[in-house]
A = this chain, B = another copy of it.
Amino acid sequence: MTITIKDVADAAGVSTATVSRALRGLPNVDAGTRERIERIAADLDYVISPSASRLASGRTGSIAVITPHVARWYFATVLSGVESVLQSAGIDLLLMSVSSSDGQHRLPPAPRLRRRVDGALVIALSPEDPQLHDVLALGLPTSLIGLTMPGVPSVTIDDVLAGRMAAQHLINLGHERIGVITGASVGAPFTAPNDRYLGFEAAMSDAGLEIDPRLAHHGYFTMTGGEQAMTALLTQRHPPTAVFAMSDEMAFGALRAMRSHGLQPGEDISIVGIDGHDMSELLDLSTVAQPVVDLGRSAAEALLLQLKDPGTGTPHEEIRMPTRLIVRGSTRPRSA
């Protein structure tokens, strides 16, 4: 019924071993023989059985992408970068979503990885997430995206710098009373929210400005969270003249809160985000853009290398991608 390597071998008058070598492009195969085998394989419409190949070789030819969200912009965009690289390399991409602490009832990812992938890519889990540690404990080649951990390869932006750039932008515009909408779990080491806050602090400190603790609110990296945080800021007795939101989605929520209060972004209060979200241009939001697709790409490429030569290469590399400030209408000089 289904045609196997043996059929090809018989048709070509060679052994299965030769067919296997020829079709995989291994050396020590006569050019003519290889060509003949390839033609016959094509004629017979032969395709290798991945299961058999995997069983025999021990390699699965697939890698898992572990993410707390599949539909949200950042994660989906990273995923698209990963996918393009893996597709080119002929590697299967197994998508696995995890609970992200808040989420649904989901199976833990680690058990699902065993024996079925050659490596894993983890997107923006909390460094304290036990699921992350379970995955790392598996010992298979792994790269992190959007978070760092000591001793583990990762691809991120310089979050401290990103926070600093955003804050400095507002400072340069003359703002002094600056609010901040944080993600969550500021305090945990090696996290984007923490690092971005550190950058914010540093910029403020360098400028000789105080950080009013009443002007810092959690937005949990969601639009509604950002909206609530902004509402809290707006209802202060001394509202800020500018606000730094640690993500564009939170900034979107903040914009919405402003509109509810009849305030004009930029005009009344300046707002800057981080991400370079597709919608930020439409909403005229200033932002520190990060190359999200490239984050995924680089991580995938790095992992592929790691898979190729298990020994060679820097044991664990921390790749930092550049960010850039995009100034739009949501940030303006502080009105005199």
B70-A80 in contact (CB<8A): yes
Question: Quick one: given A55-B52, A94-B94, are A223 and B256 in contact (CB under 8 Å)?
Answer: no
Q: Which B residues are CB-close (under 8 A) to A93?
A: 94-96
Chain B residue nearest to A70 (CB atoms) is: B80
Within 8 Å of chain B (Cβ to Cβ): is A314?
A: no
Question: Quick one: given A80-B97, A97-B80, are A282 and B49 in contact (CB under 8 Å)?
Answer: no
Question: Quick one: given A49-B115, A76-B76, A252-B282, are A87 and B107 in contact (CB under 8 Å)?
Answer: yes
A223-B282 in contact (CB<8A): yes
Residues 48-90 of chain A: 1 if any B CB is under 8 Å from the residue's CB, otherwise 0? 1111101100001010010001111100110110011001101
Copies per assembly: 2
B71-A77 in contact (CB<8A): yes
Chain B residue nearest to A75 (CB atoms) is: B76
Within 8 Å of chain B (Cβ to Cβ): is A278?
A: yes
A116-B92 in contact (CB<8A): yes
Question: Quick one: given A70-B80, A71-B79, A83-B95, are A55 and B51 in contact (CB under 8 Å)?
Answer: yes
With beta carbons under 8 angstroms apart, the residue of B55, B97, B279, B282 that contacts A83 is B97
Question: Quick one: given A76-B71, A77-B71, A279-B279, are A106 and B92 in contact (CB under 8 Å)?
Answer: no
Within 8 Å of chain B (Cβ to Cβ): is A207?
A: no
A51-B47 in contact (CB<8A): no
With beta carbons under 8 angstroms apart, the residue of B48, B70, B94 that contacts A79 is B70
Q: Which B residues are CB-close (under 8 A) to A115?
A: 2, 47-51
Q: Which B residues are CB-close (under 8 A) to A282?
A: 223, 252-253, 255-256, 283
A91-107 at interface with B (beta carbon < 8 Å): 92-97, 104, 106-107
Question: Quick one: given A95-B95, A116-B92, are A47 and B111 in contact (CB under 8 Å)?
Answer: yes
Within 8 Å of chain B (Cβ to Cβ): is A39?
A: no
Chain B residue nearest to A77 (CB atoms) is: B71
Chain B min CB distance to A106 (Å):
6
A71–B50 Cα gap in the complex (Å)? Answer: 28
Q: Which B residues are CB-close (under 8 A) to A77?
A: 71
Knowing that A49-B55, A50-B116, A92-B116 touch, tell me 5 more A-B residue pairs with CB under 8 angstroms.
A51-B60, A51-B115, A90-B107, A94-B94, A252-B282
